């Protein structure tokens, strides 16, 4: 239990600013009776202030050296390490994530800051050859300006840092809007940057709801780059809005209807384990969670039995309890969506193995707890339950005959995010890699577990084709070409004469 209820504030131009209007409550999804904090329900006014502060800080910040800018991240990491376990507990209480996963979220955030700190001393631009021997040709990078970082609640520490760290190191200034489900961990993150003495306006925090604070932020005419992680529906609106503004660039990381493909020859226990982790870790609330497990017919029945057996035994409970494997869903809306898709599966002809009921008694009272929902079904291109993202512990096991069919089913989705292939045959594994449309792929592993130094992003409805995490260097910098002449006369490319006579 938290001893005090946080009175949340915004952080604009280096000043902590209390709510000027209404507030919203932040409650523990495992026990909604527990109030964690009250935060400003910001709107256009606060957004205007934050964007203006970021704009004002930009010229000074971009003139700092890249290495000096990155040193703030090193200082940030030292402070986070001081409070690491406390932060993990807080994150677990606020976000519905089990304590082990909350710890991993903090570790991943530390990794992001360490990665960009280290990367500041590595290559940045490129030196190329010119057609003219006396010319040096460079690709040089410049910061883009003001970045809006709009982050999700399911990785409330790591993902904001994926977005904020490269933005800052490359000389941009940032307005960060945490998800309304996780304002507290968002505020803590910014408090560390304040404590390390980041210059005012370089990083600003605006709390509030997506429509009221997020939308005015991403559509603000003085924001140059929008980095967004969240639902495909919101991402599509952001992409549309950015396309209408000539200066705006966006990277949107959205959902998935990810799948594991398990071949007959796979290590059976490993594949079952990987499937359980892919489907139920984070209570299925990752953009890379697997909601489809494709299993080759030769092992299908045995796999279903083993998977259902494991899923039945999953320990559901308080996320702070070390023995818990699956915490609650994050919100009532999450439970309603989950229940809707459980009903839809039945309507669309699924065979239900675990019913996904809501848990409301005893230790579950007052929390958003549900049981896993597991069904089997032949692939049906018309079944919405096989195509739409649930974002919960909801998984269909689907049989296939051969690799071609598996790849066809895998690709029969508007999304294209995570893939896992379980097989012992390198030919099968390689062929699956070439045939499937994915952004994050795994072999003999779950569909989760990406590391910060890799690009992270999906295709089709899952992304803009521009990966997040390590891939964001490209989004937050503008590449300029820079040609320098060392001769006493002008020599032009393509054989063009510079002679004016």
Interacting residues toward ligand UN1 by CB under 6 A: 108, 154-155, 286-288, 448-450
What's the min distance (Å) between Cβ of 287 and ligand UN1? 4
Q: β-strand 468-469 against 455-456: which pairing, if any? A: antiparallel
Nearer to ligand UN1, 91 or 448 (CB): 448
Nearer to ligand UN1, 112 or 383 (CB): 112
What's the min distance (Å) between Cβ of 97 and ligand UN1? 11
What's the min distance (Å) between Cβ of 108 and ligand UN1? 6
What's the min distance (Å) between Cβ of 389 and ligand UN1? 11
Neighbouring CB atoms inside 10 A of 426's CB total 9
Q: Are 178 and 156 in contact (CB under 8 A)?
A: yes
Q: Are 355 and 373 in contact (CB under 8 A)?
A: yes
Active-site pick, 165, 242, 252, 287: 287
Listing DSSP states for 168-222 in one string gives HHTT-EEEEE--TT-HHHHHHHHHHHHHTTPPTTSEEE--S-IIIIIHHHHT-TT
Residue 370's nearest CA partner among 448, 302, 464, 280 is 280
CB-side exposure of 39: number of CA atoms within 13 Å? Answer: 30
Give me the residues paired with residue 395 across strands: 374
What's the min distance (Å) between Cβ of 234 and ligand UN1? 14
The sheet carrying 135-143 orders its strands as 126-128, 135-143, 477-485
- In 252-397, where does DSSP find H-type helix? 268-280, 300-312, 332-347
Neighbouring CB atoms inside 10 A of 247's CB total 12
Nearer to ligand UN1, 329 or 377 (CB): 329
User: Is 25 a known active-site residue?
Assistant: no
What's the min distance (Å) between Cβ of 425 and ligand UN1? 25
Nearer to ligand UN1, 280 or 364 (CB): 280
Active-site pick, 46, 170, 253, 291: 253
User: Is 250 a known active-site residue?
Assistant: no
Nearer to ligand UN1, 51 or 274 (CB): 274
Task: Classify each residue of 291-316 as buried b or exposed e, where b means 16 or more C-beta atoms within 10 Å of its C-beta.
Answer: bbbbbbeebbeebbebbbebbeebeb
- In 390-461, where does DSSP find H-type helix? 403-411, 426-435
Nearer to ligand UN1, 449 or 455 (CB): 449
Largest CA distance in the chain: 93
* Catalytic (active-site) positions: 253, 287
């Amino acid at each position: 239990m938290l001893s005090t209820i946080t009175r949340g504030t915004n952080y604009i131009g280096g000043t902590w600013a209390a709510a000027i209007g209404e507030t919203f409550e932040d409650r523990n999804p495992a026990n909604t009776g527990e109030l964690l904090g009250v935060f400003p329900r910001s709107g256009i006014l606060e957004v205007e202030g934050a964007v203006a502060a970021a704009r004002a800080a930009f010229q000074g910040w971009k003139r700092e050296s890249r290495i000096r800018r990155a040193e703030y991240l090193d200082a940030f990491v030292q402070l986070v390490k001081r409070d690491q376990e406390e932060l993990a507990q807080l994150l677990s209480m606020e976000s519905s994530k089990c304590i082990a996963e909350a710890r991993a979220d903090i570790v991943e955030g530390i990794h992001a800051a360490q990665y960009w700190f280290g990367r500041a001393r590595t290559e940045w631009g490129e030196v190329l050859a010119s057609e003219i021997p006396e010319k040096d040709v460079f690709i040089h990078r410049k910061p883009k300006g003001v970045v809006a970082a709009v982050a999700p609640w399911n990785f409330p520490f790591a993902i904001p840092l994926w977005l904020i760290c490269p933005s800052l190191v490359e000389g941009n200034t940032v307005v960060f809007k945490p998800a309304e489900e996780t304002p507290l961990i968002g505020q803590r993150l910014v408090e560390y940057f304040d404590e390390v003495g980041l210059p005012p306006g370089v990083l600003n925090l605006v709390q509030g709801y997506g429509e009221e604070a997020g939308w005015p932020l991403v559509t603000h005419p003085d924001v140059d780059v929008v980095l967004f992680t969240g639902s495909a529906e919101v991402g599509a609106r952001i992409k549309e809005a950015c396309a209408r503004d000539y200066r705006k660039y966006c990277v949107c990381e959205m959902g998935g209807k990810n799948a594991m493909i398990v071949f007959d020859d796979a290590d059976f226990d490993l594949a079952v384990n990987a499937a359980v982790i892919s489907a139920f870790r984070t209570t299925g609330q990752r953009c890379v969670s697997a909601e489809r497990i494709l299993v080759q017919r030769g092992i299908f029945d045995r796999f279903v039995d083993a998977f259902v057996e494991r899923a039945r035994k999953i320990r559901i409970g308080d996320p702070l309890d070390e023995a818990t494997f699956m915490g609650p869903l994050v919100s009532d809306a999450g439970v309603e969506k989950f229940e809707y898709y459980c009903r839809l599966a039945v309507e669309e002809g699924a065979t239900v193995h675990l019913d996904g009921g809501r848990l409301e008694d005893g230790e579950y009272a007052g929390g958003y707890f549900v049981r896993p929902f597991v069904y089997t079904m032949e692939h049906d291109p018309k079944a919405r339950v096989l195509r739409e993202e649930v974002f919960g512990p909801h998984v269909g096991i689907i049989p296939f005959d051969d690799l071609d069919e598996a790849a066809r089913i895998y690709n029969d989705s508007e999304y294209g995010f995570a893939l896992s292939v379980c097989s012992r045959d390198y030919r099968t594994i390689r062929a699956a890699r070439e045939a499937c449309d994915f952004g994050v792929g795994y072999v003999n592993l779950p569909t989760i577990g990406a590391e910060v130094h890799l690009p992270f992003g999906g295709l089709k409805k899952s992304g803009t084709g521009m990966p997040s995490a390590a891939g964001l260097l490209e989004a937050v910098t503008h590449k300029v070409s820079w040609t320098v002449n060392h001769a006493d006369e002008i020599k032009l490319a393509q054989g063009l004469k510079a002679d004016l006579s």
